[in-house]
Amino acid sequence: MSKIFYGWVIVGTGIVVTCIGVGAMLSLSIFLQPMSEATGWSRTGISTAALINWLCMGIGSFLWGALSDRFGTRAVVLCGGVLLGAGMVTASQAGSLSQFQIMFGVPVGLAAGSFYTPLTATTTRWFTRNRSLAVALVSAGLGLGSTVVGPLARWIITSYDWRTAMLVIGDIAWLVVIPAAFLVREPSAAGSGAASAAAAGGDGGEFTVGQALRTPQFAAIALTNFACCAAHSGPIFHMVTHAIDNGVTAMAATTVLGVAGVASLSGRILCGLMADRIGAKRMLLMGLALQAVAVSLYVFTRDLASFYAVAVVFGFAYGGAMPLYAILVREYFGARIMGTVFGAVGTVATLGMALGPWAGGWLYDTFGSYFWLYMGSFGIGLGAVAIAFTFRPPRPLPAVVPSPIAAG
């Protein structure tokens, strides 16, 4: 009986860790309306915690990615799991809006940055064949987070209150992420087969970190990811609250977010598979165009059926685009500095993720509706398509002698 390739264990671990780890942070969208009602805090104020989340996640993505290249992903995920649970538990006891913004925003955001980027980088080092599929599956954990953690949070809030729900989710983060971290390991460079081949050099020539960050390819990938995230982050965060505002019950509105999460799973897997056939750039352009169209449709949603329909299209589109950035980074810059470069891309992208929730809350408090959120997101989504058209094929570099900085 042949042994299971350990790369698939890494993929499974990545799915579970990103599901719980990032899902815990994203669950704030479920807490938005009940927290506002229970405490009197404004939607802008609570959404500011999400802004801080994404800013800290951006910083964390780069730092954790660099640390994973140097010290390994296991230590990074373990530290992130401890920090995530601590942030959720302490935030559940916050006595004021400012306390909540700091307690939830900083540690939870930093912790979330330790999961997706390092685990994706490690996954690419384990695979040569099926790499796009493996990366897409790890990315699918992000979609599962909304599907699993969101309804759980809603059920606990309905049965008890928002503080109990946040406390329980923090405990679950400790119980799941910390043990899972010990399953993570790097492929042996001395081994044979897919793992060693994936751990070896890059597809497009070996870059140092400094060289990679100065290339037009890096700028194009990072800015496209920024615009893509800015376009979908606001609609995702305010999806449940927008449905409730239109008369959908709280639990049904939560299932709308779950439907989007499930649709994003299929988008990540199918687009990842298609990227192996038609190329990551072409697949990304198609996904970004569909995302922009789907966001504009929220202007016309009024009942539960239309919310479900748009959630399917929107979820498929934003889910399909997300794993493609990692594939492009791996193709352009190689495996050795993958964690650092993808972390840098993630830092820029999370600025876009930070913008949407806060802007949506401000626009709602100012104009009394989410109309301008969706119109602005539609325009930014079209901008992402335009930037993606500027991608150019990578130019292989001559061999270089790795420096200590490049090794990090």
Least confident of 108-112, 130-134, 195-199: 195-199
- Retrieve residue 19's tokens: 């599901």
Does residue 343 contact residue 117 with C-beta atoms inside 8 Å?
yes
Q: How confident is the model at residue 205 (pLDDT cuts 50, 70, 90)?
A: low
**Average pLDDT of the segment spanning 54-66:** 84
Superfamily of domain 7-184+198-393: MFS general substrate transporter like domains (1.20.1250.20)
pLDDT digits (tens, 9 = 90+) for 253-288: 888 988 898 898 888 888 888 887 888 889 999 999
pLDDT band at 231 (very low <50, low <70, confident <90, very high): very high
What residue segments make up the domains of the chain, in order of their start? 7-184+198-393
Q: How many helices (H) and strands (E) does the chain have?
A: 18, 0
- Give residue-wise pLDDT tens across range 24-52: 998 898 898 899 999 999 888 998 898 89
- Residue 236 pLDDT > 80: yes
Q: What is the pLDDT of residue 396?
A: 53
**With the CA atoms of 256, 261, 262 and 266 taken in that order, what torsion angle do they form, in degrees rounded to the nearest 10?**
140
The per-residue pLDDT of the chain, averaged, comes to: 85
**pLDDT tens for residues 326-357?**
888 888 887 777 778 888 888 888 888 888 88
Contact 34, 159 (CB under 8 A): no
Place of tokens 């270089």: 400
Q: Residue 336's closest CA among 401, 404, 408?
A: 408
Query: What is the percent of the chain where pLDDT is above 70?
Result: 91
Token readout for 65 is 């990615």
Whole-angstrom distance, CA of residue 73 vs CA of residue 6: 15
Residue-by-residue DSSP string for 258-315: HHHHHHHHHHHHHHHHHHHHH-HHHHHHHHHHHHHHHHHGGGG--SHHHHHHHHHHHH
pLDDT score, position 157: 94
Which residue from 189, 199, 223 is spatially nearest to 123, judged by alpha carbons?
199
Q: Cα 355 from chain centroid?
A: 14
